[in-house]
Chains A and B, each alone.
Chain A
Amino acid sequence: MIEMHDIWKTYPDGTTALQGVSVVIDRNEFVYIVGPSGAGKSTFMKLIYREEVPTKGQLSVNGFNIGKLKQRKIPYVRRNIGVVFQDYRLLPKLSAYENVAFAMEVIEAPKRTIKRRTMEALELVGLKHKAGSLPAQLSGGEQQRVAIARAIVNNPAVIVADEPTGNLDPETSWGIMKLLEEINFRGTTIVMATHNKEIVNTLRKRVIAIERGTIVRDEMRGEYGYEI
């Protein structure tokens, strides 16, 4: 599903974020990416959804060679990757329903399909009854649920979640984790960067630890391993 081979990433300002990262993430895996701030987690995530291109090395996602991808092919690769952020990134003027449907509109899905899939996604995240609410009228947890509904509405093979519980209180965070687990259970690969020790240590999954741009630890059913 995701294969990295000796990936290096140096930004134009000279900082090197990743130094020779090699990893294979299989279909249907649930992987935590942990490590101190500035260790290269975000770069790792951005490479997967082609926000950044590796300076060196081979990267394939879902069978696409990301490094050599032609500019106009990028949109089609992204349609197979759902992305969830710490700050939700919803459009404030659109309702929950419209935010989710937006992801299907921009890929020009037929109207009827949009309606059906959007309602299904909202139902899955448990927000069918709040379809008409604006983001400002929703709690943080609910907003993140809408963001997750948007990420899954196009049926992606992978969900990349960059600290999805970073802004949420513990109880709400657990709700989000249950939801991601459910999505993973239905067959979607999940790569999630997190600082949440409790979640990683309780909901045991594969843990990849990145420090100073390299993978220092990769364990099945691993632990968080840091104090904070």
Chain B
Amino acid sequence: MRFSTLVRHIREGVKNVFRNGWMSFASMGSIVVSLFILGVFMLLALNVNKLADQVESQVQISVYLQLDTKQDKIDEINRIIGRIPEVKKVTFVSKEEGMRRLMESMDDSAKKALDGYENENNPLPDGFDVEVFEPQKVAYVAKQIEAINTTDADKPILGVKYGKGTVEKLFRITNAVRNIGLIIVAGLAVMAMFLISTTIKMTIIARRREIGIMKLVGATNSFIRWPFFVEGVLIGLVGSGLTSALLLYGYSRLIQSAQFDLGLMMIKFATVGEVGWFVTGTLLILGTLLGIWGSVVSVRKYLKV
């Protein structure tokens, strides 16, 4: 194909989009709606994943020992826990370390309340951080550790803590979001494709005369098809570009306004920088594919070349 011919096809495709004003607008609209919902689900899924990561890293088991547990007892318990096959890592947390962590999690005014509890006045117990290989096994491992008390007459375990239930819930939510999102998006994508193909069908019908003349004077089939292809790609590209812009703008506003509230609950949103490229890229590719698909369908169906 000559370069000037390619330029012509692109020019014609662009013209088609404008000539079909309302229909182009409608099919872009349907792309925007379907991809927007897809985008929302993507952002939701990305955030739930991030949250799951955060929680997963937090779902270590905290084991607290009786206040006056001796060093050899501590070592023994350390070994017992380490022998549980599901356990990945056991870290001893001294009461000094515990105090340091507590101070860290508080802001300056609250820290003052802890004044005087350092060093020998430290009321915290020694303990362990236990990490397991699979977050699903947390509850089981926690029970095993608690069971040490039944075999040991000293009952050295003061308490075992972990985020009961949160992990399981989170996994269920992630899966549900993913599945529901997929179904809705697939339906909407078919709708968008259908609208695009209808738009291009309109072009074809509106330009039957022109196409007839093109055929009559000896235009090749691919020459006739190209502008419709360009039209489909353009509708898809513009639609998905708009969606990405809209989605990311809305998302950044949402983060800004929700940051303070959710920050208190220790929930961190995925930042626009983290998800922007992924979301934009996916939407652009999907939108363009939808446009191509729509144009191919209608050209095959209505353009008997």
Which A residues are within 8 Å of any B CB, using their own CB? Answer: 49, 72, 75-80, 83, 89, 91, 102-103, 105-108, 111, 150, 154
Contacts and interface: CB of A to CB of B under 8 A. Distances in A.
Nearest to A76: B218
B220 A72 contact: yes
Given A108-B2, A108-B5, A111-B4, A72 B213 contact: no
Given A89-B212, A91-B209, A150 B217 contact: yes
Ranked nearest first, the 5 interchain pairs of A and B with the lowest CB-CB distance are: A79-B218, A106-B219, A78-B218, A103-B217, A75-B218
7 contacts: A75-B215, A83-B216, A91-B213, A102-B213, A107-B218, A108-B2, A108-B223
A91 B218 contact: no
A5 to B, nearest CB: 25
A106 B212 contact: no
Contact of A49 (B5, B216, B219, B223): B216
Contact of A89 (B5, B209, B219): B209
A77 B216 CA distance: 10
Contacts of A49: 216
A154 B5 CA distance: 17
Interface string B179-214: 000000000000000000000000000000110111
A154 B213 contact: no
Most chain B C-beta atoms within 10 Å of own C-beta, residue among A83, A102, A108, A154: A108
B221 interface: yes
Main secondary structure of the interface of B (DSSP, over half): helix
A155 to B, nearest CB: 12
Given A78-B216, A150-B217, A106 B209 contact: no
Interface of B: 1-2, 4-5, 8, 209-210, 212-221, 223
A75 B209 contact: no
B210 to A, nearest CB: 6
Nearest to B19: A93
Contacts of B4: 111
A106 B214 contact: yes
B48 to A, nearest CB: 53
A61 to B, nearest CB: 13
A106 to B, nearest CB: 4
Contacts of B2: 108
A87 to B, nearest CB: 10
A24 to B, nearest CB: 24
B244 to A, nearest CB: 34
A154 B218 contact: yes
A107 B210 contact: no
A71 B63 CA distance: 79
A108 B215 CA distance: 13
A111 B8 CA distance: 12
A76 B1 CA distance: 16
A97 B291 CA distance: 33
**Residue from A75, A78, A105, A107 having most chain B Cβ neighbours under 10 A:** A75
A76 B217 CA distance: 9
A80 B1 CA distance: 21
Contacts of B217: 78-79, 102-103, 106-107, 150, 154
Nearest to B217: A103
Nearest to A114: B4
B212 A107 contact: no
Contacts of A106: 214, 217-219, 223
B215 A89 contact: no
B217 to A, nearest CB: 4
Contacts of B219: 75, 106-107
B265 to A, nearest CB: 61
A83 B215 CA distance: 11
B21 to A, nearest CB: 15
A96 B226 CA distance: 24
Given A108-B2, A108-B5, A111-B4, A75 B220 contact: yes
Contacts of B221: 72, 75
Nearest to B214: A106
A138 to B, nearest CB: 17
Nearest to A91: B210
Contacts of B209: 89, 91
A91 B220 CA distance: 19
A89 B218 contact: no
Contacts of B216: 49, 78, 83, 89
Contacts of A91: 209-210, 213
A47 to B, nearest CB: 14
B103 to A, nearest CB: 77
Most chain A CB within 10 A, of B1, B2, B216, is at B216
B195 to A, nearest CB: 25
Contact of A78 (B5, B8, B215, B223): B215
Contacts of A102: 213-214, 217
